[in-house]
Every structure is written in C-alpha cells, then in structure tokens.
C-alpha cells in the first residue's frame, strides 16, 4: 500500500540529536496499518483529504513533532476546516456533519497508530475523534446507553487501581483526588501537602483547602480555580488520608536519605511529576504534574475499570454541544465524569443543594445562604459526617452507628427517631471519664403511624455496595 501523500510535506524533523516524525511522517510510517481495510478508491479519497484538507489545517505541521500535538491542536484544525468549508460550482459551502466526523476519525487513526509505536501519547483517547460514522440507529442506541456517572463495579475497580500503591505516579494520585473530592484536573495538580490539614476543633477530621489551580498546559500555579467561587474547604475521605500519609512518609524517607532536610515538606505537591522511588531526584519530587498529563493517565485506569474510550467519546460530543455541560460547567470528559460521580454520591448521602454546590465549586443558589457561611468548622464538620457514609473511601464498620461526645459539665437534649415503625433503636452509653458522673433521663414518645412509608436510601446504597 504505497501512499500518495504530497512529497512537499516534511516527514521528519531533527532536534537534540534525535529524529522525530511529523504528523505527515507518522501517517506515512504507519500507513499500512491505517489503511488496512480501505479499498483502492477509499485510499485515494482519504489521501486527497489528508493532502488538501487535514494537513493544511494543522498549524506548523512541517515544523512540529507528532509527539507535541495536544487535543486542542487537533480540535483547532477541525474548527479551521469547518470555517473554511469548500467551493463547489463557484459557491462556498459547509462540510456536512458526517464529513467532519470523517476528518476527525482520519486524524485519530494517525494518532492511535503512532501511539501504538510510542511515537506519541494517544491524546485523543476518549474524545469525539474516536467515533467513526455508524448508521443513525446504532448511534442513537449507543448514546442512550451512555452513563454520566460510574457503576459500583467501576468504582470498586477505581479503588483497587488508585488506592493500593502509595509509590504510584502523581497523575494517578490526581485522579484519586478528582474521584474522592470532586476536584478539577488543575485543582488536584495544584494541591500541596500543606493544604491537607485537620479541621479546627475536630481532630482526625482532615480537609483540603482548595484555593489555587495550575495554568493551562503548564504546572505553574495561579490563585483561584476555574471560577471566582472555586475556593472551598473539602472534607477528605479516611482512606485517602491514610494513602496520602503513606506517600508523605515515603517522601520524608527519600529526602532524609539524600540529606536534603532543608526542603519544606508542606510546600511539595501531592501530585508530583512521576513516581515516588528510592533514589529519586528531589527536584523531580517538587515538580508538579500538568492537568493534561492527568487525562493521559486516565486512559489506562479507565480501561481497567471498564470505562471505554467510546463512552467518553460520546460524552465529549455532548459536552462540546453544551447538552450536559450546564450540570457541572465542565468541557473535559475525565473531569466531568469523576465530578459528576462525586455529585451523585453527595446526593445519595443526603447533602443539601447548597452543600453540594459549595463542595463542587459552584455558586450557592440559595436566597438564605452564601458561600461565606460555609467557612465555618462546624458547618464543614457536618458535611464531613455525611460524607463519611461514602462507600469504598471510608473505614466503615457499622452502617447505622452515630457517636456523640459530650464534654464538660453540660446538659444535652438528643432527639432520636426511626424512619420506619419496625426499625430498632439501640443506645449504648460509653464508659465515663474518671470522677465524672452521667445522669440520664429517658422519655419515649410514640406517634400514631400515619400509613405513609419511607425509603431508607442509605441502607439500599450500603447494601448494593456490599452485594455487588
């Protein structure tokens, strides 16, 4: 299968003593696999499209290695193709939707085949470029099956993938923070160890202070997040706290072994660039990963969890069209999927709309509440207590146990009610401190059963995770 790509295009560039392929060079190098199923007429058609439409729309394609392209570069090329259109009978026309899908897929084939031979990362995994042109019926069917959150099985796979190895690369730690705390890519990358601390007045309750993010395509910090309302204090699940402490101990050991005791641990990024390894260069440990690196790391993690490239691709299409973006105001499929899942968990766990809006970094749309009211330890602890019910990320042993600690010479009135007439209530009084007397008065009030029944959503939630 000989290509008919224009000989005026540059195939290779030389830099730093090595030779790298341009987009055109990669296309020619992997052409046999790219065009494997094309008949002669199809090959000629696609070669004309590469020559006359796609390559001219790729900026600096004669000077740029295919390794340096990002999803945004290819998206920009498609926008140029859309805007330029084509001329027919002296009239400028717009390409059809199917033609645009064809161009996207032709670009994806080059990137995918190049990634197989490690010429570049597959930056188009899980994007609309993956989608070919199925018939309308199958496209509608696949779109209907699209899930905008994660199944229990997929979440269990994520827990296995992201919580087992404290040495793992920082980009995967960022995915853990996005899944567990509902952070955006850039917010997770910006987090330092000093930003995770105990909540005032509540020992062993840890929270993350989210007040900065990384700049687009860099690991440079900027204050604030995506919007003015991004700043927030987010409770950290117990197992994520344990995981971060393990990484912190490894980090301290590496630094001590190298005699670099002057390094401020608290200023080091939680999501460093690369793995934690004995003998690591401390400069690498202080280099934070980039948000687009997190999206690349998500490919393998998602595939192992049964989240397919096509699932994210259809989600990418919907986000680009604005069909679901209003829910979380996200355009990046990885961030959207994990943050949407976090929002789903919060809803099940009984957080109010205002609490969910605050924790996800949105405007608090309540006439009687503002974001300022959430900067209060007791309010945050209330949300932390609800989030402790979340499965897989907390050390839960008793699904219906609540502990109340009364300090000093105080009197407390506690009201306990059952959701159903047959639900049992068990109250256990712990051992009092030395020389401290506890007096208890018990009053029982029985209301007439109205006949209305309720559904204990939390119980169903916990039972599903235990049985799945």
Structure tokens at 258: 């190298």
Asked if 287 and 234 sit in the same domain, the reply is yes
Domain closes at, from 79, 108, 124:
124
Phi and psi of 224, rounded to 5°? 75, 175
Q: Does the pLDDT at position 229 exceed 60?
A: no
Asked if 233 and 361 sit in the same domain, the reply is yes
DSSP secondary structure, 406-439, as one string: --SS---------SSTT------PPPPPTT----
Mean of the pLDDT values across residues 7-36? 91
Asked if 90 and 166 sit in the same domain, the reply is no
Asked if 183 and 90 sit in the same domain, the reply is no
Mean of the pLDDT values across residues 246-260? 86
Strand locations in 7-137 (E): 12-15, 18-21, 86-88, 91-93
Separation between Cα atoms, residue 21 and residue 25, nearest integer Å: 5
Distances (CA, A) of 133 to 51, 137, 144: 21, 11, 17
**Within-domain flag for 395:** no
Mean of the pLDDT values across residues 458-468? 88
The larger pLDDT score, comparing residue 113 to residue 453, is at 113
**Within-domain flag for 452:** no
**107-116, 382-391, 457-466 — which is least confidently predicted?**
457-466
Distances (CA, A) of 367 to 327, 347, 380: 20, 20, 20
Strongest mean pLDDT among 227-231, 280-284, 307-311, 408-412: 307-311
The chain-wide mean pLDDT, for the chain, equals 84
Region for 100 from its dihedrals, namely left if φ exceeds 0, alpha if ψ lies in -120 to 50, beta otherwise = alpha
pLDDT band, very low/low/confident/very high, at 234 (cuts 50, 70, 90): very high
pLDDT in the model for residue 316: 84
Q: Does the pLDDT at position 265 exceed 60?
A: yes
Domain closes at, from 109, 124, 139:
124
pLDDT band, very low/low/confident/very high, at 276 (cuts 50, 70, 90): confident
Asked if 241 and 348 sit in the same domain, the reply is yes
Q: Tell me, what CATH number does 359's domain have? A: 1.10.443.10
> Are the CB atoms for 328 and 336 separated by under 8 Å?
yes
Separation between Cα atoms, residue 263 and residue 252, nearest integer Å: 10
Place of tokens 């660039």: 273
Question: How many percent of the chain have pLDDT more than 70?
Answer: 80
**Within-domain flag for 136:** no
Q: Does the pLDDT at position 231 exceed 70?
A: yes
Asked if 80 and 213 sit in the same domain, the reply is no
Asked if 71 and 162 sit in the same domain, the reply is no
**226-230, 270-274, 326-330, 447-451 — which is least confidently predicted?**
226-230
User: pLDDT digits over 42-92, tens only?
Assistant: 999 999 999 999 999 999 999 999 999 999 999 999 999 999 999 999 999
Asked if 207 and 328 sit in the same domain, the reply is yes
Domain closes at, from 387, 406, 432:
387
User: pLDDT digits over 178-194, tens only?
Assistant: 999 999 999 999 999 99
Exposed / middle / buried, residue 314 (Cβ in 10 Å: 0-12, 13-18, 19+): buried
**Within-domain flag for 466:** no
User: pLDDT digits over 410-432, tens only?
Assistant: 677 777 776 655 566 777 766 66
**Within-domain flag for 99:** yes
Asked if 118 and 171 sit in the same domain, the reply is no
The larger pLDDT score, comparing residue 321 to residue 408, is at 321
**Within-domain flag for 316:** yes
Asked if 200 and 293 sit in the same domain, the reply is yes
How many folded domains does the chain comprise?
A: 2
Separation between Cα atoms, residue 376 and residue 60, nearest integer Å: 52
Asked if 163 and 54 sit in the same domain, the reply is no
**Within-domain flag for 465:** no
**Within-domain flag for 451:** no
Asked if 313 and 190 sit in the same domain, the reply is yes
Range of the domain at 54: 12-124
Closest CA to 293 of 377, 160, 175: 175
């Amino acid at each position: 299968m000989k290509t008919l790509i224009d000989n005026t295009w540059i195939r290779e560039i030389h830099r730093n003593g090595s030779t790298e392929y341009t987009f055109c060079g990669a296309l020619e190098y992997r052409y046999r696999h790219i065009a494997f199923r094309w008949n002669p007429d199809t090959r000629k058609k696609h070669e004309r499209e590469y020559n006359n439409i796609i390559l001219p729309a790729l900026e600096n394609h004669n000077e740029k290695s295919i390794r340096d392209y990002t999803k945004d570069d290819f998206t920009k090329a498609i926008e140029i193709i859309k805007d330029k259109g084509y001329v027919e009978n002296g009239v400028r026309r717009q390409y059809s939707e199917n033609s645009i899908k064809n161009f996207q897929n032709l670009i994806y084939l080059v990137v995918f085949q190049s990634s197989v031979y490690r010429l570049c990362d597959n930056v188009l995994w899980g994007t609309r470029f993956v989608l070919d042109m199925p018939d309308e019926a199958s496209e509608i069917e696949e779109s209907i099956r699209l899930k905008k959150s994660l199944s229990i099985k997929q979440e269990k796979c994520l827990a296995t993938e992201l919580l087992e190895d404290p040495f793992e690369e920082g980009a995967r730690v960022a995915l853990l923070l996005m899944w567990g705390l509902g952070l955006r890519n850039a917010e997770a990358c910006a987090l330092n160890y000093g930003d995770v601390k105990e909540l005032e007045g509540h020992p062993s309750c840890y929270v993350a202070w989210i007040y900065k993010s990384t700049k687009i395509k860099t690991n440079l910090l900027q204050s604030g997040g995506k919007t003015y309302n991004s700043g927030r204090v987010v409770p950290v699940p117990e197992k994520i706290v344990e995981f971060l402490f393990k990484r912190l101990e490894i980090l301290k050991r590496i630094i001590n072994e190298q005699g670099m005791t002057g390094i401020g641990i608290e200023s080091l990024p939680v999501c460093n660039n690369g793995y934690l390894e004995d003998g690591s260069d401390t400069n690498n440990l202080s280099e934070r990963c980039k948000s687009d690196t997190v999206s690349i790391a998500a490919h393998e993690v998602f595939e192992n969890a049964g989240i397919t490239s096509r699932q994210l691709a259809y989600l990418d299409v919907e986000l680009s069209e604005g069909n679901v973006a209003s829910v979380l105001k996200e355009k990046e499929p990885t961030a959207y999927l994990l943050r949407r899942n976090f929002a789903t968990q919060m809803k099940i766990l009984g957080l109010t709309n205002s609490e969910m809006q605050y924790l996800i970094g949105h405007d608090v749309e309540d006439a009687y509440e503002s974001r300022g009211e959430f900067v209060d330890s007791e309010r945050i602890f209330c949300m932390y207590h609800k989030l402790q019910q979340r499965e897989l990320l907390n050390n839960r042993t008793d699904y219906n146990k609540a502990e109340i600690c009364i300090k000093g010479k105080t009197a407390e009135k506690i009201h306990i009610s059952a959701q159903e007439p047959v639900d049992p209530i068990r109250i256990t009084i712990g051992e009092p401190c030395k020389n401290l007397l506890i007096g208890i008065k018990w009053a029982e009030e029985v209301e007439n059963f109205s006949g209305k029944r309720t559904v204990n959503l939390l119980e169903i939630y916990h039972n599903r995770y235990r049985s799945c």
